[in-house]
């Protein structure tokens, strides 16, 4: 009985081979046609046709030659960086940082702006995106996606901001306004979630499909990664652990009044500073006090012990529900505490629950939210530009 030929199968296989070749060029750098054939398992003829196809689509370009044995030198090919660009934006209460990357992931433009003198979020984002693209010498029309990391809730159904405690002027309807203004796809994502994306890419959670990231800074938040995907919850509120009703702090009954929720009262930046003053660190901000306590060795132990006890209440509550193998401590305080704080939290969680996750400090030292925004944008744009299937 002869095999049935499925319509479109050769076209689909070509698309899959093209995508595999592009991923190899991104991962390994410039390659010859012959080497691409070896790595993809394609014949020399098929590999040559593939490269010609990608050149015609403007996705790869010749970047040099590789000297070999007899005969002419082999041409080297690489992904054409200018085939698409993305912009990532980290939005905070006082500043906006935007970076532009080409499709290879190279960051080629960056700007930072204060937001203290404006109440126009559309104007703030517009200026940051335009200036980031300009500093990268990229046309705004080549920017295929903009991802903004913001504190607060992002509605998973509409993609719009529904609540941002520290950004009262950021509101529902802003997403449409930005898309109309910039004429390109714009995506909002919670800032702590983006930090987890960066941690999975190049930080302490590499090669792990399941983990949680606890952000401890001015505020406290949680990102949940399950099966290699962010978990947002039905309303986008998954990870808002500042609202955990924990012992040791009063529990506000009306969150609409912008009162600080219980766990935020216990371990947010203001509370860390207050505890630090009680332990002999009167003049430092939260992260500086924790960093000083770590440097003091045994002398800083009591402060770290108290912070670990407080932090463990939220970590334990999360872990008895999700049972992740790894907890990453990030944010200014989490990073400052390093292994000294992480080890204490791990011991405290094991002492008060049946679960024993590994607790580690962040593996990233610079701009994790921005890095996560760029990675999220790049993943989407590569799917669009490279195309893993053909209709």
Q: Which domains does the chain have, with CATH numbers?
A: 10-79 (1.10.10.10), 85-193+369-388 (3.30.420.40), 204-363 (3.30.420.40)
Q: Residue 53, class by beta-carbon neighbours within 10 Å (0-12 exposed, 13-18 middle, 19+ buried)? A: middle
Residue of higher predicted confidence among 5 and 65: 65
In tens, the pLDDT along 132-180 reads 999 999 999 999 999 999 988 999 999 998 877 777 677 778 999 999 9
pLDDT at residue 257, rounded to an integer: 56
pLDDT at residue 164, rounded to an integer: 77
pLDDT at residue 71, rounded to an integer: 66
Instruction: Give the whole-angstrom CA distance, residue 236 versus residue 216.
Output: 19
In tens, the pLDDT along 7-44 reads 446 778 888 888 999 999 999 989 999 999 999 998 98
DSSP 3-state of 199: helix
Confidence bin at 111 (pLDDT 50/70/90): very high
pLDDT at residue 15, rounded to an integer: 84
pLDDT at residue 168, rounded to an integer: 66
Confidence bin at 390 (pLDDT 50/70/90): very low
Residue whose structure tokens are 């090919």: 77
Residues 6+ apart with CB under 8 A from 88: 98, 99, 101, 146, 147, 148, 149, 370, 371, 372, 373, 374, 376, 377
In tens, the pLDDT along 323-361 reads 999 999 999 999 999 999 999 999 999 999 999 999 999
pLDDT at residue 287, rounded to an integer: 96
Task: Give the pLDDT mean for 367-383.
Answer: 97
Of 127, 191, 186, 142, the C-alpha closest to 369 is: 191
Confidence bin at 254 (pLDDT 50/70/90): confident
For the chain, the farthest-separated pair of C-alpha atoms sits apart, in whole angstroms, at 84
Q: pLDDT over 70 for what percent of the chain? A: 94
pLDDT at residue 6, rounded to an integer: 41
Residue 239's region, left for phi above 0, alpha for psi from -120 to 50, else beta, is left
In tens, the pLDDT along 258-298 reads 678 999 999 999 999 999 999 999 887 999 999 999 999 99
Considering only 245-249, 320-324, 358-362, which range has the smallest mean pLDDT?
245-249
pLDDT at residue 286, rounded to an integer: 95
In tens, the pLDDT along 41-64 reads 989 899 999 999 999 999 999 998
Q: What is the pTM of this model?
A: 0.92
Residue 225 parent element (H or E): strand 220-226
Q: What is the mean pLDDT of the chain?
A: 91
Instruction: Give the whole-angstrom CA distance, residue 200 versus residue 137.
Output: 30
């Amino acid at each position: 009985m002869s095999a049935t030929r499925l319509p479109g199968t050769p076209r689909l296989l070509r698309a899959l081979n093209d995508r595999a070749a592009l991923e190899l060029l991104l991962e390994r750098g410039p390659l010859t046609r012959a080497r691409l054939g070896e790595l993809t398992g394609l014949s020399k003829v098929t590999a040559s046709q593939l490269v010609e196809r990608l050149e015609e689509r403007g996705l790869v370009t010749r970047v040099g030659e590789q000297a070999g044995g007899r005969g002419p030198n082999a041409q080297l090919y690489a992904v054409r960086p200018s085939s698409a660009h993305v912009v990532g934006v980290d939005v905070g209460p006082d500043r906006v940082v935007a970076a532009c990357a080409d499709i290879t992931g190279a960051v080629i433009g960056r700007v930072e702006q204060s937001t203290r003198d404006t109440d126009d979020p559309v104007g703030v984002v517009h200026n940051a995106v335009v200036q980031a693209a300009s500093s990268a010498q990229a046309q705004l029309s080549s920017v295929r996606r903009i991802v903004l990391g913001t504190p607060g809730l992002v509605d998973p159904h509409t993609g719009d901001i529904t609540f941002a405690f520290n950004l009262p002027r950021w509101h529902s309807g802003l997403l449409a306004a930005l898309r109309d203004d910039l004429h390109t796809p714009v995506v909002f994502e919670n800032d702590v979630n983006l930090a987890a994306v960066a941690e999975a890419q190049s930080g302490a959670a590499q090669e792990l499909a399941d983990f949680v990231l606890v952000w401890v800074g001015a505020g406290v938040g949680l990102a949940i990664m399950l099966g290699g995907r962010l978990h947002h919850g039905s309303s986008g509120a998954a990870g808002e652990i500042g609202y955990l009703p924990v012992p040791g702090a009063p529990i506000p009954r009306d969150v609409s009044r912008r009162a600080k929720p219980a766990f935020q009262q216990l371990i947010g930046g203001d509370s860390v500073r207050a505890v630090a003053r009680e332990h002999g660190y009167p003049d430092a901000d939260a992260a500086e006090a924790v960093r000083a306590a770590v440097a003091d060795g045994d002398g800083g132990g009591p402060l770290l012990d108290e912070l670990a006890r407080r932090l463990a209440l939220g970590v334990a509550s999360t872990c008895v529900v999700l049972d992740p193998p790894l907890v990453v401590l990030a944010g200014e305080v989490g990073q400052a505490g390093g292994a000294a704080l992480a080890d204490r939290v791990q011991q405290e969680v094991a002492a008060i629950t049946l679960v024993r996750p590994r607790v580690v400090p962040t593996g990233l030292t610079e701009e994790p939210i921005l890095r996560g925004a760029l990675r999220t944008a790049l993943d989407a744009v590569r799917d669009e530009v490279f195309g893993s299937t053909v209709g």
